[in-house]
Amino acid sequence: MPEDAISAAGVRKTYRARGQPPVEALSGVSLRVGRGERVSLLGRNGAGKTTFLRIASTLLMPSSGRVEVFGRDVVRDPEGVRPLIAVVPQEGKPFFHLTPREQIYTYLRSRGFQRETAKSRTEEALGLMALEEVADRLNATLSGGQKQRAMVATVIATQAPLLFLDEPTIGLDPFARRGVWESLRRLTRMGSTILLTTHYLDEADVLSDRLYVIDRGQVVGQGTSEDLKRSTGGTLRVSFRGPFPDAKALRAEVQGTGRIMEDDQSLHIITSPERMEELLAIALRRKLAATVGPVTLEEAFLRLVGRSIEGEEHVGS
Amino acid sequence: MSGAEASFPPLDVTTGARSLRSRWQGARGFTETEVRVQTHETLALATSMIVQTVFIVFVWLLDRSILPFAMVGAVIFSVFQIGERVTNEAAYIRIDHRLTELYHASPLTPEAYFLGIAAGIMIAYLPPVVVLVVLAEIVHPMGLLAAGVFALSLVAIWLFAASLGYTFSTLFHDSRAIWPYSSLFYNAFGVLPPVFYPFVVWKAIIPAAVVPAGLLVPPSAAAALITWAEGLTPLSTGEVLTAAGSLTFFALATFAFAVHWARRMAREP
Ligand SMILES: Nc1ncnc2c1ncn2[C@@H]1O[C@H](COP(=O)(O)OP(=O)(O)OP(=O)(O)O)[C@@H](O)[C@H]1O
Ligand SMILES: [Mg+2]
């Protein structure tokens, strides 16, 4: 039996539509997801996450490259793959004219579950996604987040060996998000494997065993959350809050203390504990508000997808 | 929490070529889904009867002698129109809800998914059809032969209309764009040929070269066959065979193609 739930090598995808220029969405993605792992794909809008998920879940033909799911080629043997997977599509919506209870139950039935199993799984999934109160209302009347929860509940109820979840927590409140995290952890404890995408980096941090960062159709970073954070070159982030009367001079002064990142209002320096004193002295001298915190996945992400505007070199390139 | 006893196929199962039975297995579960979805739309059930009711009322007022034809036509038209609902529903849940992805990335085969929609919508729209059949029986009592021909023809019309509708639905990227086409198609082919009116009238008003079309187009072929079995339409043996052959051919050919097409379109190229 293969060790990997997913192994992808050199996956390319170019969308071609008549009368429109071709779009290269994936340009050689290779990645692997081990059995029982929770792996997240990160990347900016249009990076190619959904494209990869759809290829690996047999819903989209790759232009070239190879993807195996539990050792089965998704192109040659989609029928061998499909019984092993379940998918939460991006922007999927439940049947408006079913209730969450009906939706989950009928989906399980169409996947071939016996009545009794389908019934107990349905109740369980409703509980996990905290949908009991709305379980018998038509999906059309649910709030946006409740609809999304109904979609996630439908798919986690399958307990399929491999689950693809494309932005499963979009629009969910902080409690509901935690409910999803807990359900996904529970599924992997029971032996399922999970590949998901998310734009919430805190979520990716606490939920993933490993992550892949995709940018313009290529893997530009991978590893555990700690690996990625370490790749920023420091463990602490010192932020000076602007606006700065003399930004140029400030930049010159902090040069060399660490990796500098800027956004519209603040200057962030990714640094090590040894350089702290130096940086705080600058803040005191210039009477700037400064905050210190651990490096987060966000810094790693921004660095990898090339948004940082560091002095000398353009990182991520 | 009954997590551990997962009943998905174990990983070491060799699926290889799936048995014929397992290919269609999930269709029942999905049919159930579609029946529930459709029956929430009671108003749509009522509006599905508008055209037929209008025709029946006019015939009733203007010329009761062709009422038995209009009744048979109304039943055929109702079943034929299931194709339009299949088109719209399949496009809607694929494009607007992306639910098709949920079902395709699952043990349910694409052909079972297609059959599920076709059967679910047929079952949901059956009650008004049954009412019309009862009325047809009252207007002109059927013998055993006619009843058999009637039943078989309706199955063929359903297969033809639903298969065509499902295939058609996959060609669009916008579910709104599909409505005018499906409406035009199913209304034109359900109304223009001799479905609601006698085949002899068609023969009388249409250029001779085009007359056989009335026996080739499935809805009017069904109408000709049923009213022939009822003793209302005189047909030569050749005409009977033409109509029966055409109906059978179209039903089976479009169904086979829809199965092939559903499997092919399960994955976007
Ligand atoms: N059907 C399509 N036809 C043409 N181009 C497409 C199609 N689907 C996606 N693309 C393009 O392919 C690229 C990757 O899209 P994809 O949906 O995979 O991105 P993503 O990483 O999932 O983004 P997001 O975070 O916004 O969901 C984008 O440039 C997108 O515009
Ligand atoms: Mg996406």
For B11, which of A59, A70, A92 is closest by C-beta distance?
Answer: A70
Distance from the alpha carbon of residue A199 to the mean position of ligand 2, in angstroms: 10
Probe site for chain A from B85, B98, B170 (most A CB atoms < 10 A): B98
What percent of chain B is modeled with pLDDT above 90? 72
The pLDDT, as a whole number, for residue B18 is: 60
CA distance B160 to B175: 21
Q: Residue A178 CB: number of other CB atoms within 10 A?
A: 14
With CA atoms as reference, the chain A residue closest to B23 would be A79
Q: Indicate the domain borders of chain B.
A: 25-267
Q: Is residue B235 over pLDDT 80?
A: yes
Q: Quick one: tokens of B65?
A: 């002698």
Q: Is residue B11 over pLDDT 80?
A: no
The pLDDT, as a whole number, for residue A312 is: 36
CA distance A84 to A72: 10
The pLDDT, as a whole number, for residue A256 is: 85
The pLDDT, as a whole number, for residue B223 is: 97
Q: Is residue B126 over pLDDT 80?
A: yes
Please say whether the beta carbons of A183 and A129 come within 8 A.
yes
Contacts of B103 in chain A (CB under 8 A): 107, 110
CA distance A182 to A129: 10
With CA atoms as reference, the chain A residue closest to B29 would be A110
* Strand A236-241 to A266-271 pairing: antiparallel
Confidence band, pLDDT 50/70/90 cuts, at residue B253: very high
CA atoms within 13 A on the CB side of B160: 27
Contact A93 B97 (CB under 8 A): yes
Distance from the alpha carbon of residue A104 to the mean position of ligand 1, in angstroms: 28
- For range B205-224, the mean pLDDT: 94
Query: Which residues partner with B249 through β-bridges?
Result: none
The pLDDT, as a whole number, for residue B8 is: 41
CA distance A99 to A151: 11
Among residues B219, B158, B211, B164, the alpha carbon closest in space to that of B190 is found at B219
Please say whether the beta carbons of A69 and A6 come within 8 A.
yes
- For range A23-52, the mean pLDDT: 96
The 10s digit of each residue's pLDDT in A75-108 is 999 999 999 999 999 999 999 999 999 999 999 9
Residue A141 Ramachandran class (φ > 0 left, ψ -120 to 50 alpha, else beta): alpha
The 10s digit of each residue's pLDDT in B14-66 is 444 566 677 888 888 889 899 988 888 788 888 888 889 999 999 999 999 99
Query: Which residues partner with A197 through β-bridges?
Result: A41, A166
Distances (CA, A) of B85 to A261, B90, B169: 56, 8, 10
- Please name the residue that has the structure tokens 């269609």: B24
Burial of A165 (0-12, 13-18, 19+ CB in 10 A): buried
Helix ranges (DSSP H) in chain A? 49-56, 78-81, 100-110, 115-128, 144-156, 174-189, 201-207, 225-230, 247-254, 276-286, 297-304
| Identity of the amino acid at B168 | F
Q: Is residue A139 over pLDDT 50?
A: yes
CA A199 to ligand 1: nearest atom: 25
For B97, which of A1, A92, A107 is closest by C-beta distance?
Answer: A92
Query: Which residues partner with A195 through β-bridges?
Result: A39, A164
Distance from the alpha carbon of residue A48 to the mean position of ligand 1, in angstroms: 6
Provide the CATH topology of domain A233-294: Alpha-Beta Plaits (3.30.70)
Q: Indicate the domain borders of chain A.
A: 4-228, 233-294
Contacts of A160 in chain B (CB under 8 A): 8
* Residue B200 parent element (H or E): helix B199-205
What is this structure's pTM?
A: 0.90
Pocket of ligand 1 (CB under 6 A): A 15, 17, 23, 25, 43, 45-51, 90
Contact A190 B116 (CB under 8 A): no
Contact A58 B267 (CB under 8 A): yes
Please say whether the beta carbons of A211 and A225 come within 8 A.
yes
Contact A95 B108 (CB under 8 A): no
ipTM of the complex: 0.88
Q: Is residue A258 over pLDDT 50?
A: yes
- Please name the residue that has the structure tokens 């990160």: A42
Superfamily name and number for A4-228: P-loop containing nucleotide triphosphate hydrolases (3.40.50.300)
* Residue B222 parent element (H or E): helix B218-229
Distance from the alpha carbon of residue A13 to the mean position of ligand 1, in angstroms: 10
Burial of A267 (0-12, 13-18, 19+ CB in 10 A): buried
